[in-house]
């Protein structure tokens, strides 16, 4: 039986020197694809604002939107921990209001933990979240919610003073009780220093190879988003280009009368036209989560779609 996912994997992997693989997900399909690919954890990032909702940055994203996307991810039962971003404005308020927002992400969104951008100045709200039994992932470096204060999307922590300050902030987040720390867009040497200084794992994005794990945005990794293309993104596929080509072929086939064919059409009698895909029963979901190695992941995507006779 698949064991229910827990956050214990973060500490365990750091102790064992095993890399942690995290990716963002925003809906059921992205969650299932990432889980089937074997990632260790999913982050419902507020990057949803840029790669899904069409905003120029993450600032407009609301708690309602995060709850909506987080619930879609957890309904997939991906079998790995799901962490939800606290969006801008949701924790820049009183600790009481912050906790109320985070509880929505847990109760309605199904998140196991939340991520909060910032260091020492977030101490009070992080303690309040932990008091409410909500585990917190920290986030330092280029924190996109501070884009205007930082003067743009720029590398952070360059120079001795800035590096020492970030090391101090990282130690603070560990002492306060964060279970892991995202380091975004900082020099690789600084990320290595922070990683060696902490007992909690660091997860880098644009922070070089010495962190305990890596995270990328789903749409960046798969070549689905062309808006901003930071240097730290490696595209492992060009699905955007493949999707455009598929659309082009679909449009041409419709216009030329080549789609739908007999295999996509229904007869008067409920006989099965040759070539029609047979519906197979989906796998019984294991208690506690589907798990990336569960059979039938693709079948579960295909089943339940329309076309029943
Ligand atoms: O919102 C997001 O996707 C993030 C990751 C880039 C760490 O915060």
Contact (Cβ atoms closer than 8 angstroms) between residue 99 and residue 124? no
Q: Do 52 and 33 reside in the same domain of the chain?
A: yes
Do 211 and 293 belong together in one domain?
Answer: no
Q: Could you tell me which of 31, 187, 3 has the C-alpha nearest to residue 109?
A: 31
Structure-token pair, residue 31? 């969650």
Confidence of residue 228 (pLDDT cuts 50, 70, 90): confident
**107 in the same domain as 188:** yes
Q: Are residues 221 and 255 in the same domain?
A: no
Q: Which residues line ligand 1 (CB under 6 A)?
A: 24, 43, 45-47, 85, 182, 184, 205, 215, 217
What does the pLDDT read at residue 1?
63
Q: What confidence tier does 272 reach under pLDDT thresholds 50, 70, 90?
A: low
Residue 166 lies in a domain: yes
- Residue 308 predicted with pLDDT over 80: no
Shared-domain flag, residues 264 and 285? yes
Residues 190 and 135 in one domain: yes
Q: Decide if 104 is inside a domain.
A: yes
Q: Is the pLDDT of residue 45 over 80?
A: yes
CA of 200 to the centre of ligand 1 (A): 19
Read off the pTM.
0.89
Contact (CB, 8 A) for 114 and 128:
no
Number of domains the chain is built from: 2
pLDDT at 305 over 70: no
By C-alpha distance, which of 187, 169, 186 is closest to 178?
Answer: 169
271 token code pair: 């006989």
pLDDT tens digits, one per residue of 68-111: 999 999 999 999 999 999 999 999 999 999 999 999 999 999 99
- Kindly state whether residue 79 falls inside one of the protein's structural domains: yes
Residues 34 and 180 in one domain: yes
By alpha-carbon position, which residue is closest to atom 4 of ligand 1? 45
22 Cα nearest atom in ligand 1 = 7
Q: Does residue 275 carry a pLDDT above 80?
A: no
Catalytic center residues? 184
> By residue range, what is the domain housing residue 246?
240-302
We report the CATH number of the domain holding residue 69 as 3.20.20.60
Query: Mean pLDDT of all residues in the chain?
Result: 90
Last residue of a domain, one of 192, 223, 238: 238
* Average pLDDT of span 269-298: 50
- Over residues 178-197, mean pLDDT: 98
Amino acid 271: pLDDT: 64
Residues written for the chain: 309
How confident is the model over 287-306, as a mean pLDDT?
A: 43
**Nearest CA-CA partner of 274 in 283, 282, 264:** 264
Is 3 part of a structural domain of the chain? no
Domain boundary among 238, 262, 292: 238
């Amino acid at each position: 039986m698949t064991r229910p996912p827990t956050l214990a994997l973060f500490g365990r992997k750091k102790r064992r020197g095993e890399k942690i693989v995290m990716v963002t997900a925003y809906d059921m399909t992205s969650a299932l694809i990432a889980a089937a690919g074997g990632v260790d954890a999913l982050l419902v990032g507020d990057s949803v604002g840029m790669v899904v909702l069409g905003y120029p940055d993450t600032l407009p994203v609301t708690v309602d939107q995060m709850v909506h996307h987080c619930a879609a991810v957890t309904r997939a039962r991906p079998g790995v921990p799901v962490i939800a971003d606290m969006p801008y404005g949701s924790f820049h308020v009183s600790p009481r209001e912050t906790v109320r927002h985070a509880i929505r992400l847990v109760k309605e969104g199904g998140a196991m933990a939340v991520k909060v951008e910032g260091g020492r100045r977030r101490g009070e709200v992080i303690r309040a979240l932990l008091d409410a039994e909500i585990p917190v992932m920290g986030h330092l470096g280029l924190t996109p919610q501070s884009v205007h204060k930082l003067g743009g999307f720029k590398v952070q922590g360059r120079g001795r003073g800035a590096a020492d300050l970030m090391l101090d902030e990282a130690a603070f987040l560990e002492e306060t009780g964060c279970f892991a720390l995202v380091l975004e867009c900082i020099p690789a040497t600084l990320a290595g220093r922070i990683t060696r200084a902490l007992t909690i794992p660091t997860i880098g994005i644009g922070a070089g190879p010495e962190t305990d794990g890596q995270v990328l945005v789903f749409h960046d990794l798969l070549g689905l988003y062309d808006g901003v293309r930071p240097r730290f993104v490696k595209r492992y596929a060009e699905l955007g280009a493949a999707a455009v080509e598929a659309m082009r072929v679909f449009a041409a086939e419709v216009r030329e009368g080549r789609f739908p064919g007999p295999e996509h059409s229904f007869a008067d009698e409920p006989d099965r036209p040759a070539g029609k895909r047979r519906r197979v029963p989906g796998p019984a979901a294991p208690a506690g989560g589907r798990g990336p190695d569960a059979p039938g992941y693709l079948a579960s995507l295909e089943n339940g779609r329309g076309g029943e006779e």
